[in-house]
Structure 1
Amino acid sequence: MCGIFGVYNIVNQQPIDQERVEKATFTLKQRGPDGSAVFLHGACALGHTRLSVIDVRAIASQPMTDESGRYTIVFNGECYNYRVLKAGLQKDGISFFSDSDTEVILKMYIRFGEKALNHLNGCFAFAVYDNVQETLFIARDRLGIKPLLYYYDEKSLVFASELRAIMEWGIPREPEPLSFPFYFQLNYIPAPLTILKNVLKLMPGQYLKISKSKLEKHTWWVIPENTQEEISEKEAQEKIRELLYASVERRLIADVPLGCFLSGGIDSAIITGIAREIKPDLQTFSIGFPGMGIYDESSAAETTAKKHNTKHTTIPISTSDLLNNVQHFLEVTDEPFADSSAVAVNILSQVTKRHMTVALSGDGADELFGGYNKHAAHLRVLQPEFSDHFLPLTSPLGSLFSGSRSSRIGNLLRKASKFQQGRKLSHQDRYWLWCSLMSEKQSGALLKTNSSKVDYDYYRKLYTGSVGGRDMNEILTSDLRLVLANDMLTKADKFSMSEGLEIRVPFLDHTLVEYVNRIKSEFKINKLERKSILRRTFTDIIPDDIMRKPKHGFEIPVEKWMKNELRGLLDEYTQPSYIERQGVFNINVIQALKKKSLATMSGDTPANLWAILVFQYWWKKYLD
């Protein structure tokens, strides 16, 4: 994995300033600590920072130019089937000067153009410049595992792995008010929007073609339709097992130390079990939170490590360790992102990097197979029973929505209220509410800034449009597009790559995603269990204790922090005089939220205040 940056001047034919390119590229140094370089040719410049994983020799460095001198590539990611593709090209007489996957992608593009994308199995964002045609090609992988942002103003195009590099180049830093309600509702800004005007995220499965005359955007892959193929569950289990084993094996290719993240759940247990069969000396890592009760799942991770006899390391993290990492988290956040579990991912990545460069994780299984508590809630609405009329008064509701709250009774009431509120809504509105930590009405009251209702509805419908109440597969597909791409994968990339650690996600091999998306939803989730087919397929790998353990998120004590440890920082960044000058928020709403956060039944208020704190820190750092 690496960091990439580039500039293409559409109008201005003056040579590009190399020092500016180097400065912008340098902001991505944390993504690629093993080296950096730039390439300039006329109106185009490319920059690259390298995290050496495959063919660590200097000859595999980037920007990489082919032997003819015509094509140059910068590439972030991994192509897991590069050896197979290379062998095919060699049969056709194409020679290679390195053993890198970068050169394979470059020569696949030279040979097949944009159709090369269909042959790639991996995670990637890359750009290829043709100095004869003076064209630039930029592409992003199918599911959005690797990020790609770009600024475009009809005079030039600037792209990068992270927003910080684009800002360093010197673009206008004008905030995009349309992104604000999405951020405060979801705790992240979904693609294609960013926090800045004229800066967009390239959507998963899209590519750009830029020339002096035009910019074209094309979609080269979409999540397949839910065809509900008529196959037996046993057949589906066999195919899923075959595909996941192949996926894990592909992702164990590396020329640097590699291991697995272990949480206390079934997803990382499955990946670890398969990887251990293929790699006998497998190392596994987990973090423990001694004395923090439900936050600490280290014993469950150790159960899996013991079953599969891995070389396991549990890294104890104290509350003060987490708290001390908040400042670092805020510093590496170049666009507001308020999924608080990212703090834990970041500190796990820091300590894991001391032992290895690549880690496999279980990300993606919940969205693919229906593992979230909210999925059980959606299923209850789609398939109601008589007992559901009494659901808010019964204990099963306690598992419908996850979340750590100080009062058990208050938490149950919060869940009951949100379920009852959601079941009365349309399918699309319910989906959006249950993806959110703040309602549309609440974000509207919080924000002074007004954005176009037409534009807001358009972007919201990008992610809710396929939800029609016909089948649970609609919910799961929507989660792949919204929650996975914009929250989970953003978190995994940004807050691991900030420490120079590469995370690989075997559940998101496109062959597995395409297959699972076609099978019946009742194989995945039913009224008895979530991720049903995954559990049944890998009963030999998942420890019994882990199989029975209820799902628990990767959480940190935000509620406590908003009352105590981070209260001073929150007060500093929400001073009434500053809020008034800023002109973004209604100060009365912020004051009410702060007051409510001190109550026993604070609901989602601590998470809302955390989102405000992250936003304010970003605003002061980049806009003031």
Structure 2
Amino acid sequence: MCGIAGFWDLNKKRSRDLYLNIKKMTNCLYSRGPDDKGFWIDKKNCIALGHRRLSILELSKLGKQPMFSRNKRFIIIYNGEIYNYLEIKEELKKEGKSFKSNSDTEVLIEAIDSWGVQRTLIKIAGMFSFAIWDKKKRKIYLARDRLGIKPLYWSIQNKILYFGSQPKCFIANKYWKKKIQIKSLLYYFQFGYIAPPNSVFENTFQIKPGHYLSFDSKGSYQIKKYWDLSKKINKNKELSHSTKEYTERLKDLLSKVISQHLISDVPLGSFLSGGIDSSTISLIMSQQKKNIDTFSVGYNNSDLFDETEYSTKIAKIIGSNHTNLQINPKEILNNISNIVEEYDEPFSDSSQLPTFLLSKLVKKKITVCLSGDGGDEIFGGYNRYLFASKIKTIFSLSPYFLRKKISELFLNISPGTYDSFFKIFGNKIHRKINGDKIHKFSGILRIKDFKSIYEYLLSFNTKNEMPINKDLLKEYQKINFELNNNNFVEQMQLTDANFYLPGDILTKVDRASMAHSLEMRVPFLDHRIVEFAFNLPTNLKIHQGQTKIILRNILKEKIDEKVFNRPKMGFGVPLADWLRGELKDWAWDLISQKKIEDGILDISEAKKIFNEHVTYKRNWQNKIWTILVYIIWKQKYI
């Protein structure tokens, strides 16, 4: 894993500043690649490439970047791993190519030299973002992996093309001017993140997953899609094999993919929460490599989220060298601003806080870590998939006017009143049914179009609830989630893979892990696994109120179902309580600053939301967190 940065000045007026600017751009990505750095400058064409290296394969100087092709036509900067690079290497050897290293970077650039960018992207399997300069055509290509595991941003200002792993490297270039893109900021306040292709900065974008951009010396560019998951799905899926046959096929595919994910020249392990996803990955790892290192997390002296009891049982069964890491909640509280600042675009999924500290602890032991991220999206693990089927039934049986009346009745009762009632039946019942959930459900009943439910479920704020100057809402552009009623659950999964996964989950993990120079690998998001999963019959993913059916089938061959068959646990923090306690004064001070009155944030609305939360009228933790993160981000980057 590495950090890449570069720019191309088509004006050809800044050749004297090439080295100074590329050095600054690259150095701000230090944590993504602390082991080495490299630069390449072409003064004639006024182009500069920079690279920070986290050495994983071919630890010698033979893996150094920027790297030239053997014929000197191409030069590449690349971040990621090509998991089938050995297969690609053998194929290229048969075509007459020779290699001087064991680096996947060399395989990638020689593949592009032989086959071109498009064909190479189709053939490789991995997580990656790269920029490659074609000296012959005077054209640069920017490409990103199929699922968006690795980030890649680009920007055009005054006929200068900027590109890199994170937008903070653009800020380091003195010619790049930062300005907030209001449309994208509104998406942030709606969802808590900014999904591809958008960026919070004007004239700045993310390369979408499964896409690449070509940019020529005239300033013209094209964006092409080389992988489309929706076109990989057989629309007429039927149970053409037995459940056992499907399970065996998935086991074989996972074994192949995970064996390729285990290729590393540095210490490697896996996250093991004891849940279905991480247990599946760790189990198959243990069948291929003895005494693997596994890690789980709990909190010191606290009743907070703790997975160590379950993970320890799984670790004993699979025979791993297991470490239970302990997070001190005080360390999170003391470092909140520092953690938030690692995300150079506003990002308010609060599980970013423990993920950041977990990465810090794991890095002390290993450099590469496998995780079960992506399992929920591709094998149907989220509760919203179960919920959607029930809601669809309600919508089909009850007309809108009746749903609206029922919703109004529910909303007339405050969340606090509901909470007081359900607490009578104990904490177990109250966790399942509480006032905030009832109000959320009531909001769903008021929706006219069933297809709009997905957006509502993902949103922290609806358009009219955003705590921003209402005059800015004219900039809002509704995202068209292409959902149909025929197979709504599958459509939700597909939209999660294209929107929620790269926008939230993968951004969170990338920034948290790279802040500590830890490479995270996600086998479930290998495109071969993803395509297989989306072509499974639905009842092998979701059936009779259970999720991830096929993964459960794999696990129960070796592990008692009682160990992993339990309610889904989120990896979170008690943010609602902290905002009423330890973080209350800190949060109020942030919201009350005069200097945040910028014409964007509605300060009076923010204070109203905060006061309703601390007085227990509502649980507005997500709304408040989006506000606080925005303030911290703006103070750091604007």
Instruction: Say whether 1:557 aligns with 2:558.
Output: no
What is aligned with 2:381? 371
- In terms of mean alpha carbon deviation, does 606-615 or 493-502 score higher? 606-615
Map residues 165-564 of structure 1 onto 2, 5 A cutoff. Answer: 165-170=169-174, 171-213=176-218, 214-225=220-231, 226=233, 227-230=235-238, 231-232=240-241, 233-383=243-393, 408=430, 412-425=434-447, 426-443=449-466, 446-448=468-470, 450-452=472-474, 456-457=477-478, 460-461=479-480, 464-468=481-485, 470-564=487-581
Residues 421-467 of structure 1 deviation map (CA, whole Å, 9 limit, x = unaligned): 22442233210010122222211x544451545x612xx11xx1234
Q: Is the 8 A contact 2:153 2:164 kept in 1?
A: yes
**C-alpha distance in 2, partners of 1:431/1:89?**
45
Where 2:3 maps in the other structure, the secondary structure is: strand
**C-alpha distance in 2, partners of 1:449/1:141?**
38
**C-alpha distance in 1, partners of 2:438/2:340?**
33
Q: Is the 8 A contact 1:427 1:467 kept in 2?
A: no
**C-alpha distance in 2, partners of 1:573/1:69?**
53
- In terms of mean alpha carbon deviation, does 242-251 or 322-331 score higher? 322-331
Where 2:32 maps in the other structure, the secondary structure is: coil
Map residues 8-157 of structure 1 onto 2, 5 A cutoff. Answer: 8-12=8-12, 14-15=14-15, 16-41=17-42, 42-114=45-117, 115-153=119-157, 155-157=159-161
Map residues 589-600 of structure 1 onto 2, 5 A cutoff. Answer: 589-600=605-616
Q: Is the 8 A contact 1:144 1:204 kept in 2?
A: yes
What is aligned with 1:622? 637
Aligned-pair CA distance for 1:70 = 2.1
Taking structure 1 as reference, are residues 38 and 597 closer, same or farther at Cα in structure 2, changes over 3 Å only?
same
**C-alpha distance in 1, partners of 2:97/2:332?**
51
Taking structure 1 as reference, are residues 386 and 65 closer, same or farther at Cα in structure 2, changes over 3 Å only?
closer
Taking structure 1 as reference, are residues 440 and 521 closer, same or farther at Cα in structure 2, changes over 3 Å only?
farther
TM-score by length of 2: 0.90
Taking structure 1 as reference, are residues 550 and 387 closer, same or farther at Cα in structure 2, changes over 3 Å only?
farther
Taking structure 1 as reference, are residues 467 and 483 closer, same or farther at Cα in structure 2, changes over 3 Å only?
farther
Which amino acid letter does the alignment assign opposite residue 165 of structure 2? S
Where 2:335 maps in the other structure, the secondary structure is: helix
Aligned-pair CA distance for 1:234 = 3.1
Q: Is the 8 A contact 1:325 1:347 kept in 2?
A: no
Residues 345-399 of structure 1 deviation map (CA, whole Å, 9 limit, x = unaligned): 1101101111100000000010111111222111212345999999999xxx99x
**C-alpha distance in 2, partners of 1:21/1:386?**
58
Residues 199-229 of structure 1 deviation map (CA, whole Å, 9 limit, x = unaligned): 1011001101111121111111111344242
**C-alpha distance in 1, partners of 2:491/2:373?**
20
TM-score by length of 1: 0.92
**C-alpha distance in 2, partners of 1:302/1:85?**
39
Which amino acid letter does the alignment assign opposite residue 579 of structure 2? M
**C-alpha distance in 2, partners of 1:203/1:409?**
38
- In terms of mean alpha carbon deviation, does 406-415 or 57-66 score higher? 406-415
Unaligned ranges ≥5, structure 2? 420-426
Taking structure 1 as reference, are residues 546 and 207 closer, same or farther at Cα in structure 2, changes over 3 Å only?
same
**C-alpha distance in 1, partners of 2:487/2:377?**
18
**C-alpha distance in 2, partners of 1:386/1:332?**
45
**C-alpha distance in 1, partners of 2:158/2:474?**
23
What is aligned with 1:402? none
Which amino acid letter does the alignment assign opposite residue 462 of structure 2? S
Taking structure 1 as reference, are residues 52 and 543 closer, same or farther at Cα in structure 2, changes over 3 Å only?
farther
Where 2:381 maps in the other structure, the secondary structure is: coil
Taking structure 1 as reference, are residues 12 and 315 closer, same or farther at Cα in structure 2, changes over 3 Å only?
same
Which amino acid letter does the alignment assign opposite residue 418 of structure 1? K
Q: Is the 8 A contact 1:158 1:166 kept in 2?
A: yes
**C-alpha distance in 1, partners of 2:173/2:631?**
23
**C-alpha distance in 1, partners of 2:614/2:307?**
28
**C-alpha distance in 2, partners of 1:406/1:36?**
53
Paired positions, count: 606
Where 1:344 maps in the other structure, the secondary structure is: helix
- In terms of mean alpha carbon deviation, does 412-421 or 163-172 score higher? 412-421
Taking structure 1 as reference, are residues 136 and 201 closer, same or farther at Cα in structure 2, changes over 3 Å only?
same
Residues 4-51 of structure 1 deviation map (CA, whole Å, 9 limit, x = unaligned): 001112233552520111011000000001011110113211100000
Match of 1:572 among 579, 586, 589: 589
Where 1:585 maps in the other structure, the secondary structure is: coil
- In terms of mean alpha carbon deviation, does 506-515 or 324-333 score higher? 324-333
Taking structure 1 as reference, are residues 330 and 470 closer, same or farther at Cα in structure 2, changes over 3 Å only?
closer
- In terms of mean alpha carbon deviation, does 163-172 or 492-501 score higher? 163-172
Aligned-pair CA distance for 1:244 = 1.4
Which amino acid letter does the alignment assign opposite residue 607 of structure 1? N
Residues 548-596 of structure 1 deviation map (CA, whole Å, 9 limit, x = unaligned): 211010001211221222223222321253343x111222211111101
Q: Is the 8 A contact 1:370 1:476 kept in 2?
A: yes
Taking structure 1 as reference, are residues 336 and 430 closer, same or farther at Cα in structure 2, changes over 3 Å only?
same
Aligned-pair CA distance for 1:537 = 3.2
Where 1:376 maps in the other structure, the secondary structure is: helix
Aligned-pair CA distance for 1:409 = 7.2
Aligned-pair CA distance for 1:153 = 3.0
Aligned-pair CA distance for 1:316 = 1.3
**C-alpha distance in 2, partners of 1:89/1:154?**
41
Q: Is the 8 A contact 1:182 1:188 kept in 2?
A: yes
Q: Is the 8 A contact 2:181 2:199 kept in 1?
A: yes
What is aligned with 1:584? 600
Identity %: 32
Which amino acid letter does the alignment assign opposite residue 225 of structure 2? T
Taking structure 1 as reference, are residues 185 and 543 closer, same or farther at Cα in structure 2, changes over 3 Å only?
farther
Taking structure 1 as reference, are residues 166 and 73 closer, same or farther at Cα in structure 2, changes over 3 Å only?
same
**C-alpha distance in 2, partners of 1:515/1:368?**
9
**C-alpha distance in 1, partners of 2:635/2:470?**
18
Taking structure 1 as reference, are residues 152 and 165 closer, same or farther at Cα in structure 2, changes over 3 Å only?
same
Aligned-pair CA distance for 1:190 = 1.2
Q: Is the 8 A contact 1:269 1:542 kept in 2?
A: no
Q: CA RMSD in A?
A: 2.5
Aligned-pair CA distance for 1:520 = 2.2
